[in-house]
A and B are shown apart, each in its own frame.
Chain A
Amino acid sequence: MARDTAMAGGNLAIRLDGAVVALGGFPALAGVDLQVRNGELVALRGANGTGKSTLLRLCAGLTPLTRGTALVLGHNVVTQRDSVRSLVGLLGHDNGLYDDLTARENVRFVADLVGATNSDVDSVLARLGVDARVAATRAGALSAGQRRRTALASLLVRRAQLWLLDEPHAGLDSAARSELDDILREATSSGATVLYTTHESDARDAHPRRTITLAGGVVAHDVSPGTHATHMGAERAERPR
């Protein structure tokens, strides 16, 4: 109730009301109600197939909404999809890299598309620990961790207002995970909103200020540190469909 009151002012990065997404006739999201404020760092947990990735893709304007409403940064994801795309950064399970371009060329390509400069590219590569040797290596020859860092650099250079990350810690060593957590916290400090998915076992990732658990395509638990869990849709989630 306290959260609802705080959000009544419209300072929302994400607002989903009864969002349903049917993929091939199966309701991947079965009526999600969710509000995320600007500047929040939110972890999205849940078992495989509970709709975490679908929720991210919906917020990125990449998956059609079947029913309900979805507003992202004040834009309707159905009618203002192009506006949503330019404000949101999505990093999925795959890295979205071109194997025949070097790591730097991959980041430079994204930078050129969004109007960022060469110094921005150098800056994010350095921030992600991508050294000159790795930057000059074709993406197809990079290790999984180096590819992930390059993909994160491409995301960082875009300066998106809403970051949607699908298991961003996957493939990273402990040092890189720690750096990523710092970057996510920095992003939220500078006003961006971060929503990322993670496995339930990765409880320490990024130290989110809020954790949302999906089950059966709906929000089952919504927990902020120092507060009790809000059971929002657990009953519905357990209902056989």
Chain B
Amino acid sequence: MNMVLTIARKDLTIEWRTRTLLARIVPFALLVLVLFAVALDSEPLILRAAAGLVWLAMLFATMIMVQRSFDVEIVDSALDALLGFVSSPSKVFFGKALSLFVQLFALAVVLVCASVVLYGARVEGSGVVLLVTVLVTATLGLALVGTLYGVVVANMNGRDSLLPLLALPVLAPLLIGATRATEAAFGSDTIDVANGWAWAAILVVYAVVFGSAGAVAFAPLAQGES
């Protein structure tokens, strides 16, 4: 566990130094929400789409954050050096995923607050607990899938365009589940809180599946083994 925390702390220190999240990704994600609101130009429609727009902005932001997370690893072959001595490469996977989770969770909180301000979304009663659960499970899924696919494309030419091409289809179930559960938390007419919890449970299963896959596949993928 110490190794996982050490690796996560290293990534968060780099993020703190470079301010990528604060200076580039938060403004980008907020801009996406604003542009969607302008484009839809209908209050009932915006309110209905609020949950989906938040998670769509999260998906776009995840792509940028994953690329940044692996850019720092490949510039001077740091990931290669790291995997050369850690006793368990899966801890590198979980360390990087943990760092990504922390950043994505912070971003998700900002975007949900923004959706309340911009779109007039409301969270009340049992919806609050559901919303917090969805934010945790969905961002965990995003972090795990992002880290897994980040290492897949890390050593490829054109990785910037390959990452979304490969990862977005895999993230489609997460987008659906997170959107439906968040709609329930927002008190939508189309889905109640009980159904929202069912979607949250699916998000947990999704995170467990990709967490297990990443633990097994990370080292061979990082080292380009067949």
Contact = CB atoms under 8 A, between A and B. Distances in A.
B75 A99 contact: yes
B161 interface: no
A101 B76 contact: no
A144 to B, nearest CB: 11
A142 to B, nearest CB: 11
Interface stretch (A105-113, A167-175, A187-195, A217-225): A105-113
A96 B87 contact: no
Nearest to B78: A96
Contacts of A215: none
Interface of A: 60-64, 82-83, 85-86, 88-101, 105, 109-110, 112-114, 138-139, 147, 154, 158, 160
A178 to B, nearest CB: 25
The 6 closest A-B pairs by CB, nearest first: A96-B81, A94-B77, A86-B87, A112-B6, A100-B14, A90-B84
B54 to A, nearest CB: 30
A62 B223 contact: yes
- Chain A CB count within 10 A is highest, among B3, B81, B85, for B85
A145 B118 CA distance: 53
B159 to A, nearest CB: 18
Contacts of A100: 13-14, 17-18, 72
A93 to B, nearest CB: 8
A148 B80 CA distance: 16
B88 A62 contact: no
Contacts of B24: none
B80 A113 contact: no
Nearest to B20: A100
A95 B76 CA distance: 6
Interface class of chain A by DSSP = mixed
Nearest to B74: A94
Interface in B18-50: 18
B83 interface: yes
B225 interface: yes
A163 to B, nearest CB: 12
B172 interface: no
Contacts of A91: 81
Contacts of A92: 77, 80-81
A96 B14 contact: no
Nearest to B72: A98
A158 B85 contact: yes
B82 interface: yes
Contact of A89 (B3, B75, B85): B85
Interface string B46-80: 00000000000000000000000000100111101
Given A101-B13, A113-B6, A85 B84 contact: yes
B80 A98 contact: no
18 contacts: A62-B83, A62-B84, A85-B84, A85-B86, A88-B84, A90-B81, A94-B77, A96-B84, A99-B72, A99-B75, A100-B14, A100-B17, A100-B72, A109-B6, A112-B2, A113-B7, A139-B76, A147-B76
A96 B77 contact: yes
Given A105-B13, A109-B6, A97 B78 contact: yes
B83 to A, nearest CB: 7
A101 B85 contact: no
Given A91-B81, A98-B78, A158-B85, 13 more contacts: A62-B223, A64-B225, A83-B87, A85-B85, A85-B86, A94-B77, A95-B81, A96-B81, A100-B13, A100-B14, A101-B13, A112-B2, A113-B86
Contacts of B85: 85-86, 88-90, 110, 113-114, 158, 160
Contacts of B72: 98-100
B18 to A, nearest CB: 6
Contacts of B87: 82-83, 85-86
B84 A113 contact: no
A82 B6 contact: no
| Residue of A63, A64, A96 contacting most chain B CB atoms (<10 Å) | A96
Nearest to A94: B77
Nearest to A138: B17
A121 to B, nearest CB: 14
A112 B76 CA distance: 20
Nearest to A139: B76
Given A90-B81, A109-B6, A112-B6, A96 B76 contact: yes
